[in-house]
Amino acid sequence: MHKILMVDDEPDLDILVQQRFRREIQQGFYRFFFARHGRQALTILKMHPDVSIVVSDLNMPEMDGLDLLLILKKDYPHLKVMMLSAYEDQENCSQAFKNGAYDFITKPIVFSELETKLKNLILNK
């Protein structure tokens, strides 16, 4: 089972992810956790250290995605991190890659693209 933490301040994303990956969740291929900001994500990671992928929004309250990425790379170097943003912001995208992000996806999320990117992260251990 691949455990994935989705970090986004929009609760609608939880429902969309659970609907889109319903079959994979039922089959035990994926288990998703959800956090609203970076601080909550860190709490979830302490409770579930076997999470292997984090998909994090860039712009969130309390702790944004770039700050979270820096902490993840320092404290959880085994994690693969994919950043997402509603803004096609080349500067933030470049900064995310420079800080260790494996991939980047823009909102609105095209779920077939997210699925492909998740599978690529899983296969490229």
70-108 residue pLDDT tens: 999 999 999 999 999 876 677 777 888 899 999 999 888
pLDDT, mean of residues 16-23? 96
pLDDT tens-place string over residues 29-59: 999 999 999 999 999 999 999 999 999 998 8
Task: Enter the tokens of residue 27.
Answer: 């089959």
User: What CATH number has the domain bearing residue 25?
Assistant: 3.40.50.2300
pLDDT of residue 34: 97
Number of independent structural domains in the chain: 1
The pTM of the full predicted model, rounded to 2 decimals, is 0.94
Which ranges in the chain belong to alpha helices (H)? 12-20, 22-26, 38-47, 65-75, 90-98, 111-123
Q: Which residue range is the domain that position 37 belongs to?
A: 2-123
pLDDT of residue 20: 95
